[in-house]
């Protein structure tokens, strides 16, 4: 498909806010490469969100933000918050459509991979590295399900995406859970990994705006190298660090309880006698199974009635910049 055909198709299937976003990106073309502008935009937006909830990484990310800003004129810098506002409005529109459909008892794929679609439409992908973002309707078809017994027994599912791209597959899972009557903001947690920093920033922004609990990792899922961690506001604000630790502790405790108890080995002098025999009775102590690190753990009430699906913030999106 030619660039012109791709733009025509994209224009027919997207909302006005997405079209405005693309138009603003193209306004930089006379002085900056489109890929550079897009990559800088998503990184600045990602930093702006991260620095509202992750104070431990504030200083280096703020420094990086200022380094990016210096590349642009005052007039160009003013466009970035407007671009972010258009992106937020696009998701606001789609979440509103999803809520309306849910209240009417209907199911609809209102969400989509806005940044992934924009990235591919602008032909910014690295074809030589095999970089291709799965079309959202394909991702949505692959994630049909209701969470099954996992949501019923544990309250939430854990999703791992080792090559997350812009997070389209994770968004599709959230869409599917919503159609099944679950509030995805409370019934799923995602760990996303990608080797491309631009993809990491795209995924982080989109999952943050949709208030999806997630940790987005800049790393290599094959070599296990990790270069950066990005925690979505939902992960921090809603206490998912504690929820995940609790789930891990429960899993480890259950594994200990399910493990066969070995026969005690006694010295020859004690064989045939039950004297001083410790059969290992007693439940394991969960606290002993939890590894505590130096990050603040925010406890929240986990079992209250879930609120309606909402965006990450109701304040003016421009204030983040």
The reply to whether 280 falls in a domain is no
The strand pair at 226-231 and 214-219 is best described as antiparallel
Residue 297 pLDDT grade (very low, low, confident, very high; cuts 50, 70, 90): very low
Tens-place pLDDT, residues 9-46:
556 568 899 999 999 999 998 889 999 999 999 999 99
Contact criterion met (CB below 8 Å) for 123 and 3: yes
Question: Helix, strand or coil for residue 161?
Answer: strand
At residue 301, the pLDDT reads: 35
The reply to whether 49 falls in a domain is yes
Domain carrying residue 189: 3-238+306-320
In the numeric block, which tokens belong to residue 229? 């961690």
The reply to whether 80 falls in a domain is yes
The reply to whether 32 falls in a domain is yes
Tens-place pLDDT, residues 55-89:
999 999 999 999 999 999 999 999 999 999 999 99
Q: Which stretches does DSSP call E strand in 156-293?
A: 157-161, 188-194, 214-219, 226-231
At residue 304, the pLDDT reads: 42
d(CA 34, CA 32): 6
The reply to whether 177 falls in a domain is yes
Q: Is the dihedral of CA 74, 77, 79, 82 positive or negative?
A: negative
d(CA 85, CA 22): 13
Residue 267 pLDDT grade (very low, low, confident, very high; cuts 50, 70, 90): low
* Residue range 178-191: mean pLDDT, rounded: 89
- Please enumerate in sequence order all residues whose Cβ is within 8 A of that of 310, keeping only pairs 6 or more positions apart, or say none: 95, 185, 211
Q: pTM of the prediction? A: 0.77
The reply to whether 39 falls in a domain is yes
Tens-place pLDDT, residues 93-122:
988 888 887 777 776 667 888 999 898 888
- Please enumerate in sequence order all residues whose Cβ is within 8 A of that of 303, keeping only pairs 6 or more positions apart, or say none: 155
Whether 170 has a pLDDT exceeding 70, the answer reads: yes
Q: Is 312 exposed, middle or buried (0-12, 13-18, 19+ CB in 10 A)?
A: buried
* Residue range 223-247: mean pLDDT, rounded: 91
d(CA 254, CA 245): 14
The reply to whether 158 falls in a domain is yes
Question: Helix, strand or coil for residue 10?
Answer: helix
Domain count within the chain: 1
The reply to whether 30 falls in a domain is yes
d(CA 296, CA 26): 42
Q: Maximum CA pair distance of the chain?
A: 90
At residue 132, the pLDDT reads: 67
At residue 291, the pLDDT reads: 31
């Amino acid at each position: 498909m030619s660039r012109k055909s791709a733009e025509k198709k994209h224009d027919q299937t997207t909302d006005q806010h997405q079209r405005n976003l693309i138009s603003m990106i193209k306004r930089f073309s006379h002085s900056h490469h489109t890929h550079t502008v897009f990559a800088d935009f998503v990184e600045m937006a990602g930093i702006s969100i991260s620095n509202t909830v992750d104070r431990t990484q504030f200083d280096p990310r703020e420094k990086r933000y200022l380094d990016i800003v210096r590349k642009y004129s005052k007039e160009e810098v003013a466009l970035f918050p407007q671009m972010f506002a258009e992106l937020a409005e696009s998701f606001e529109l789609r979440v509103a459509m999803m809520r309306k459909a849910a209240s009417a008892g209907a199911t609809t794929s209102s969400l989509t991979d806005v940044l992934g679609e924009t990235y591919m439409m602008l032909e910014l992908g690295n074809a030589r590295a095999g970089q291709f973002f799965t079309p959202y309707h394909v991702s949505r078809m692959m994630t049909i399900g209701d969470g099954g017994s996992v949501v019923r027994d544990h309250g939430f599912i854990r999703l791992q995406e080792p090559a997350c791209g812009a997070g389209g597959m994770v968004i599709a899972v959230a869409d599917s859970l919503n159609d099944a009557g679950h509030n995805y903001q409370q019934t799923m947690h995602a760990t996303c990994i990608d080797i491309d920093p631009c993809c990491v920033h795209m995924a982080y922004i989109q999952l943050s705006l949709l208030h999806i609990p997630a940790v987005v990792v800049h790393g290599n899922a094959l070599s296990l190298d990790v270069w950066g961690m990005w925690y979505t506001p939902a992960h921090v604000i809603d206490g998912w660090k504690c929820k995940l630790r609790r789930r891990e502790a429960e899993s480890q405790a259950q594994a200990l309880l399910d493990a066969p108890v070995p026969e005690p080995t006694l010295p020859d002098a004690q064989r045939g006698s039950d004297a001083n025999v410790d059969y290992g009775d007693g439940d394991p102590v969960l606290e002993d199974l939890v590894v505590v690190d130096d990050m603040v753990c925010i406890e929240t009430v986990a079992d209250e009635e879930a609120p309606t699906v909402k965006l990450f913030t109701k304040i003016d999106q421009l204030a983040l910049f």
